[in-house]
């Protein structure tokens, strides 16, 4: 099923501590963002990519898109201070029918696969909103002041990933409502949850990591050396 995607690259990468935007760091010969964009570039179902970037990095990203011949990146949007603002900016410039499916994806997740994309796109076509997620492996404690308040039941816990997929009109409405109520979510589907609407989970892969801290880069290099599994 066809879709368009908003790819987010307007962060600072503070937790990576590299002194520059982590999606521009080299990973086995190409910047992280190039690995991510190539997955969509080579997916026949992807009909267009909106790349959300910071204004002061515009030239760098434009050069990458040109050099690596990423032809589906036809539109750039300017990112905001918070991820949610960057998403809203991307959704504001996308050109497609309101009933079609839009994906929102972290530029820092280069290991997404065509198969996972197809599954989350299908799920959103059925339910309006869907996300990839994996069962949590760790035991999660709820803590205050370095003291355990309670242990959450692992059976019911899933770790959210991207892409998260939506009918365009639904995610646009969710953003409008969040703006009015000043709701800030840490992912995209939480804005739809806030409206009281159902969100479907699609079981993803533990390989679809987000490069967040320096050790994630080591894991990413290992994945690339070993190839598909």
Binding-residue pattern over the window 10 to 39 for Mg ion, x denoting contact by CB under 5 A: -x----------------------------
- ∠ CA(220), CA(224), CA(227), 5° rounding? 135
**63 Cβ contact partners less than 8 Å away, ≥ 6 residues apart:** none
From the list ligand CTP, Mg ion, none, which binds 120 (C-beta under 5 to 8 Å, kind-based)? none
**Is residue 184 within the footprint of ligand CTP (CB under 6 A)?**
no
Stretch that binds Mg ion, among 5-13, 49-57, 105-113, 201-209 (CB under 5 A): 5-13
Give the bridge partners for 30, in sequence order. 27
Q: Which does 41 bind (CB under 5 to 8 A by kind): Mg ion, ligand CTP, none?
A: none
- Segment interacting with Mg ion, rule: CB under 5 A, options 3-11, 36-44, 105-113, 217-225: 3-11
If the CB atoms of residues 156 and 186 are measured against Mg ion, the closer one turns out to be 186
Residue 31 contacts residue 53 (beta carbons within 8 Å): no
Taking Cα atoms as reference points, which of 102, 89, 94 lies closest to residue 164?
Answer: 102
Note whether 35 binds ligand CTP by CB under 6 A. Answer: no
In angstroms, the CA 58 to CA 49 distance is 16
Whichever of 121 and 162 has its CB closer to ligand CTP, that residue is 162
Q: How many CA atoms lie within 13 A of 130 on its CB side?
A: 22
Least distance to ligand CTP from the beta carbon of 148, Å?
26
Measure the CA–CA gap between 196 and 147, rounded to whole angstroms: 32
> Applying CB under 6 A, which of residues 6, 8, 112, 170 lies at the interface with ligand CTP?
8
Alpha helices (H) along 19-152:
32-41, 58-67, 83-93, 114-127
Minimum CB–partner distance for residue 12 and ligand CTP (Å): 4
Write out the residues near Mg ion by the rule CB under 5 A: 11
């Amino acid at each position: 099923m066809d879709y368009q995607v908003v790819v987010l690259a307007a962060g600072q990468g503070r937790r990576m501590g590299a002194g520059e935007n982590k999606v521009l760091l080299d990973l086995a010969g190409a910047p992280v963002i190039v690995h991510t964009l190539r997955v969509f570039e080579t997916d026949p179902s992807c009909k267009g990519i909106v790349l959300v970037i910071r204004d002061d990095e515009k030239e760098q990203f434009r050069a990458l898109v040109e050099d690596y011949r990423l032809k589906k990146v036809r539109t750039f949007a300017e990112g905001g201070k918070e991820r949610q603002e960057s998403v809203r900016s991307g959704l504001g410039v996308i050109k497609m029918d309101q009933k079609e499916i839009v994906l929102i994806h972290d530029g820092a997740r280069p290991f997404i696969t065509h198969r996972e994309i197809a599954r989350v796109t299908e799920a959103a076509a059925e339910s309006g909103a869907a996300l990839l997620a994996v069962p949590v492996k760790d035991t999660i404690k709820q803590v205050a002041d370095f003291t355990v308040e309670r242990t959450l039941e692992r059976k019911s816990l899933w770790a959210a990933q991207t892409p998260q997929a939506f009918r365009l009109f639904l995610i646009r409405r969710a953003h409008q409502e969040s703006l009015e109520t000043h709701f800030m979510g840490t992912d995209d589907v939480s804005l739809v949850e806030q409206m009281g609407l159902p969100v479907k989970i699609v079981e993803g892969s533990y390989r679809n990591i987000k490069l967040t801290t320096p050790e994630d880069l080591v894991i990413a290099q290992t994945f690339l050396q070993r190839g598909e599994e």
